[in-house]
Chains A and B, each alone.
Chain A
Amino acid sequence: MTRYIIRRLLVLPIVLVGLSMMIFGMLQLLDPAERAALYVPGGVLRTQSALQDIIRTYGLNKPIYVQYINWLDRTLHGNLGWSVTAQQPVLSAILSFFPATLELALWSFVPIIFGGVFLGIQAAIHHDQWQDHLARVFSIVGYSFPTFVFGLLMLMIFYAALQWFPPGRLSNWATAIVFSPEFHRYTGMNTVDALLNGRFDIFADALRHIFLPALTLAYVQWALILRVMRSSMLDVISQDYIRTARSKGLPERHVLNRHARPNAMIPVATAGGLLLVGLLNGAVITETVFNYHGMGWFVGNAALHLDAISVLGATLFDGMLIVIANLVVDIMYAYLDPRIRLQ
C-alpha cells in the first residue's frame, strides 16, 4: 500500500509539468498584444505607446521557452506569479479562496452523499414503487434545473423576500469582527474559525450565508449519487449472497446495511470522489450567483479576462487535487472491499 501511494505521488510532478506545458503552450497561441489586453485599464488604451510599454514590462514578446522557464523558475521558488484579476499573488489567491470553496464543498458534500445514498437505497429497495418514482423525479428535476436559475430562485425567495439567507460569506458586522486582530483565522473557513474562536454569533452568521449556496450545490448534485447508488444497490440485492443472507433468516435491516450497502458503495465512492474534486475546484455559477468568493469565482473571473498566470496556477492546483483525490478513491476501494489489493 505504502509503495503504491509513493509511486502515485511521484507521478504528481510529471502530471503538473505536463499540464503546465500544455496550458502555457495554448496561451502562447495568443498574440502578445492580445495578452496585453489584461493590463489595459478600463478597456481603452490611453496612449499609443502604452501597448508596447505593457508588452515590454511584462515580457510578453519574449520567446515562449524563455517565458516558460521564467515561470517555472519562479514556481519552483514558491512564486506562482501575480494574479491581475485577484490583485494578489496567485498562491495567496488560492490560499485565500480555497478555504471558502472547501467550506462550501464540505457543507454541500455531506448532504449530497448522505442524502443521495439514503434516497438511492430507498429507491432501490422500493423498486418501481412510489418512493422510487418520487426520489427519481426529485433528483432529476434538480439535475435538470440550470444552477443559475435554481440559485437565483433560492436567492429571490429566501433572501429578497424572506430575508433569511443573505449572499456573500458574512454580514458587514461579522466581517469587521472576523478581520479584526482579536479574531484568529485558523482555517479561513468561517464556520470552523468561529467555533474555534468561541464566537457562536459569527458561526450562525456564516451558516446563514453558506446555507443557500450549499443547498443549491447539493440539490443539483443529488441526482448523480442517487442514481449511482440506486442502480448499484439494485444490482447487489439481486446477487446470490444477499438471497443466502435472507434465507439464513437475517433481519432485512442487517442484510441491507451489512451485506448489500458496503458493496453497493464502491461506485458511489468513485462518483463521490470525482464530485468532491469538482466541488473543490469551485462552483463558478453558484459562487457567482451568491457572491461567494471561492475558487470557482476566482478561476472563472481569471479565464474571462485571459489572466494566463492565474489560470495556470489554479489549473495546477486543480490537477494536484485530482491526482490526490483519485489516490484517495483508490485507497477507499481497498477499504470498502478487502478483495481489492493496491499494487
Chain B
Amino acid sequence: MTKRTRISRREFLALSATALTGAIIAACGPTPTATPSAGALATPTPTVGVVGTPAATPTQAAPTPTAAPTTAAPGTIKNPGTFVEANIGDVSSMDPAWAYDTASGEVIYNIYETLLFLDRDRIDKFVPMLATDWNISSDGLTYTFNIRKGVNFHDGTPMTPQDVAYSFWRAMVQDRAGGPSWILLQPFFGLEVQSFKSDVVDKQFNGNFAAATTAVQKAITFDNNAGTVTMHLKQPYGPMLQILTGTWASIISMPWAIKQGDWDGTAATAEKFHDPQAESDPLFKITNGTGPYKLDRWAPGEEVDLVANTNYWLMQPLWSGGPSGAPKLQRIVIKYVSEWGTRFAMAKTGDADSLYVDTQYISQIDPLVKETCSYQTNQCQTTNPNGQFRLFKGLPQVSATAIFMTQQVNTTGGNSALGSGKLDGNGIPPDFFSDIHVRKAFNYAFDWDTYIKQTYNGEAEQCYGPIIHGELGYDSNQAHYTFDLQKAASEFQASPLKAADGKTLWDIGFYVQYIYNSGNDQRRVAGQILQANLAKINPKFKMAVVDEPFPVLLKDQTAGRLPIYALGWLEDFHDPHDWVVPYLATGGTYGGTQGFPKDLQTQMDQLINQGVSTSDPQARAKIYAQLQNLAYENALDLFLVQPQARHYEQLWVKGWYYNPTYGNAAQGGYFYAESK
C-alpha cells in the first residue's frame, strides 16, 4: 500500500477555509479588558478639571459611552495594569554608561536610579533619591553624599557606597566613542576634557591608563562604614548636581557587573574595558538597577517590556503627593512603531495608552481629543465630549534649532556651497559671514512669526540666543532680532564687502547655498522663508535651499565647509553651560567650526569657564546673560526656535506629568507616577 502524501485541491481549500475561519474567530475573540474603579471613571464633566485627582470630584458621573465603534469604549480600560506606549526610535543600549539617547534614557530612568532626582516637574530643584542628603564644601570642590541604607538592587543584593563609587569610575573609564562620559569627566579633570583616553590618559598621565584610572578612583572615594561617597572636583562646577541626575550617573551593582564579565574595579585592568563597542559591553542588554521597574524583555526595534519591582524600596514619597510603595502599573510595554497610521490605529482602539504624534498629523488626532490640559496646573477644558484622548500642549522642550553662519568657510578641494567663491553675484567669498552687517541683515530678514505659525502650529518660542527659556541667564527682556526688511536692507547697504571691480554687495548681489538635513521639513521651511525674504530685499540676493543626507551634512559641518546651515541641539543636562559650549566655545560642536574672531572667542571662552566654575546661581546668571547678549550683539547665529511638545494619552491614564529632562518625556516619562 502506498502512502498518500499529496493533498487534493479540495482538501487544500478545506484547510484554507478552516484557517480563515480560525482567523476570523480569533479576531472576534475577547480582548483583555477590565471595568475600572469608580475613581478611575470619574472624568471631570465640567469644562475645567484636574488630571490625576479623581477623588476631588466625587459627584461626577462616568462619561456616556459613544456609539461610534471606531474607538475604544470610554470607561473600559484596555489592558489594565499594563501601560502601552507607541513610540518611534529604539533603545541603543541598556548600559547607563553607554547609552546617550532619549529612547534609552526613558527606559534607564525607570530601571536605574541616581543619587538625587528632580523634584517632580521641576528642572532646577532636587530631591534625595539614593543619597539621603549631601554636603558641598565652601570652596565648591568637595561633594559628600550620605548613601541611603536599605536599598536593594533587583537581584536582591544591597546597594553600598562602593557600588556608587564604582558606577562613576566605570562610567568615566569606559568612555565609549560618542558617549556621555565627557559630562562626568569635566568636573574632575578639567573643562577642556572631551575624551578620557586623549585628554586625560594621554595629556595628563602621559599615556599611563592605570595611573589615570587611579586618579579617577581618587576623585571619587567611598566609605562603606560611614555610608558616604565623596567627590573631589578639579574646579568648582556649577551644574554638578544637575549632571548627577542624568542616566550616565545611574548606580549599578559592582559585584553583579563583575559577575557579568565587566570591569573588576582595579586600575590594572581598566584599559581593557575602555571604549567598548555595543556588542562587547557586558551590560548592553541586561539590567540590575534599584528602580521601580525591572527589564523583562528587549526585542530590539520592536519593544521593551518592563515589569514592576514589587520589592521597591521607596516607602515615603520623594515629593509631596508623589508615588511610593510598589508600582501601580504592573507592566510597561514600549512599542516602537515607525508608521504613523499604525500608531494612530493602536491609539484609537485603546491598544496604546500614549503615543508619539508627528507635528504633521496633529490635525488627524485633534478631533478625537476630549480634554485639553495645562501641564502646569493640570486644569483641563473639554473640547469634544465624544473624544477619547487627553491632550497636554505647549510643553516646552529642552531643545532648539538655529541657522549657523560660518565666518571662515573651509574651501579645501573646492566648495560648491559658496557658488563661484567670490563676490561676483554668483557666489560669496569664504569670509562672507565674517561681516557683522551681513549677519545682522540675515537676522532681520527672518520672519519668526510666520515660521512658528507655519511649521510649529504656533507651538514654539523664538530663541533670543543660545540659552533657551527656563535656563539660568535667560531673560525674556533680552534684546533680540525681529523681522524687519528695511533694517535688513540697511545692514546690507552698510556692508563694506566689495567685488573685484569695486561694486558693493548691494549692487552686485550674492549666491549662497543654505544646507539642511534631508527630510527635515522644519529646517527646509526656515530656509525657504529666508530665501524669499532675501529676494524681496534685493532680487540679486540669491540663496539656494539645499538638502544633504545627514551623514554628508555631518561630514561637511565638522569640516567647516558649510557657509550657512540649520541644525539643532538637545540639552544633555539642564544648565546654560550645556548651551553656551556647543554654540560659542572653542571646540564647541557648532562654535568650534564657525571661525569666530579671536578676541571675541577669547572673551566668550573666559566667560564660559567663569560661568561653569562659579557656584552662586545669581553670579552665574549674570555671566550667562552676558554671553547671551554677546551672541545677540555680534549676531553670531540666527537663533530660531525652542519648540513645544504635545502629550496625548487615553482618558484612563492618571498621574502623568511633564519633566522635559526625562527621556521621551512627552510620551512616557516616569511610569512609577502613573496608573490606569
Is A43 positioned at the interface, with any CB of B under 8 Å from its CB? Answer: yes
- Which A residues are CB-close (under 8 A) to B333? 172
Contact, CB under 8 Å: A207 / B26: yes
- The answer to whether A110 and B551 have CB atoms under 8 Å apart is no
Task: Determine the distance from Cα of A49 to Cα of B186 in the docked complex, in whole angstroms.
Answer: 14
Interchain CA distance A158-B69 in the complex, whole Å: 12
Find out whether the CB atom of B25 lies under 8 angstroms from the CB atom of A47.
no
Nearest CB in chain A: distance from B8 CB, A: 11
Please state if A86 and B194 are interface contacts (CB–CB under 8 Å): no
| Interface residue A313 (Cβ < 8 Å from any Cβ of B) | no
The complex places the Cα of A164 from the Cα of B550 at a distance, in Å, of 40
Min CB distance B521 to A, Å, is: 15
A129 sits at the interface (CB 8 A): no
A208 lies within 8 A of chain B by Cβ: yes
Task: Pick out which of these stretches binds chain A: B47-55, B294-302, B631-639, B665-673.
Answer: B294-302
Is there contact, CB below 8 Å, between B302 and A48?
no
CB distance from A173 to the nearest CB of B (A): 6
Q: How many angstroms between the C-alpha atoms of A37 and B344 in the bound complex?
A: 30
A289–B79 CA distance with the chains assembled, in angstroms: 23
- Docked-complex contact A33 and B554, CB < 8 angstroms: yes
Instruction: Return the chain B residue nearest A53 by Cβ.
Output: B177
Convert A150-192 into 0s and 1s, putting 1 for each residue whose CB lies closer than 8 angstroms to a CB of B.
0010011011111111111001110110010000000000000
Does A267 lie at the interface of the complex (its beta carbon under 8 Å from any beta carbon of B)?
no
B335 touching A51, Cβ below 8 Å: no
Total count of chain B residues near the partner, CB < 8 A? 82
Contact with B301, one of A110, A155, A208, A297 (Cβ below 8 angstroms): A297
B12–A42 touching, CB < 8 Å: no
How many angstroms from the CA of A40 to the CA of B16 in the assembled complex? 48
Question: A47 and B558: CB pair below 8 A?
Answer: no
* Given A53-B177, A87-B278, A207-B26, CB of A34 within 8 Å of CB of B555: yes
Q: Are B551 and A37 in contact (CB under 8 A)?
A: yes
Inter-chain contacts of A36 with B (CB < 8 A): 551, 554
A160-B348, A167-B345, A289-B339 given; A85·B301 CB < 8 A: yes
Q: Are A89 and B279 in contact (CB under 8 A)?
A: yes
Given A166-B349, A172-B82, A179-B297, does the pair A41, B554 have CB atoms closer than 8 Å?
no
| Residues A164 and B100 in contact, CB atoms below 8 Å apart | no
Interface centre among B19, B84, B199, B305 (most CB of A within 10 A): B19
Tell me if B28 counts as interface (CB < 8 A to partner A).
Answer: yes
Q: Is A31's CB within 8 Å of the partner chain B?
A: yes
Within 8 Å CB of A6, what residues of B?
A: none
CB of B23 within 8 A of CB of A211, answer: yes
Interface string of A49-73 (1 = CB under 8 A from B): 1110110111000000000000000
Residues from chain A with Cβ under 8 Å of B345 in the complex? 155-156, 159-160, 167
Q: Which of B220-259 contact A (CB under 8 A)?
A: none
Cα(A155)–Cα(B70), bound, Å = 12
Give the residues from 81 to 137 in chain A that come closer than 8 angstroms, CB to CB, to chain B.
82, 84-89, 93, 110-111, 114
Known: A41-B101, A82-B278, A167-B345. A53 touches B195 (CB 8 A): yes
Contact B22 A289 (CB under 8 A): no
| Contact for A204 among B25, B82, B199, B351, CB less than 8 A | B25
User: B24 and A164: CB pair below 8 A?
Assistant: yes
B205 within 8 A of A: no
Q: How far is the CB of B23 from chain A (nearest CB, A)?
A: 4
28 contacts between A and B (CB under 8 A): A33-B551, A36-B551, A37-B551, A39-B178, A41-B92, A41-B178, A42-B101, A45-B554, A46-B589, A47-B195, A50-B177, A51-B554, A54-B177, A54-B178, A82-B279, A87-B300, A88-B300, A158-B27, A161-B69, A175-B297, A176-B305, A204-B22, A204-B23, A204-B29, A208-B26, A291-B335, A301-B301, A306-B551
Residues of chain A having any CB pair with chain B under 8 Å = 30-31, 33-51, 53-54, 56-58, 82, 84-89, 93, 110-111, 114, 152, 155-156, 158-168, 171-173, 175-176, 179, 203-205, 207-208, 211, 288-291, 293, 297-298, 301, 306
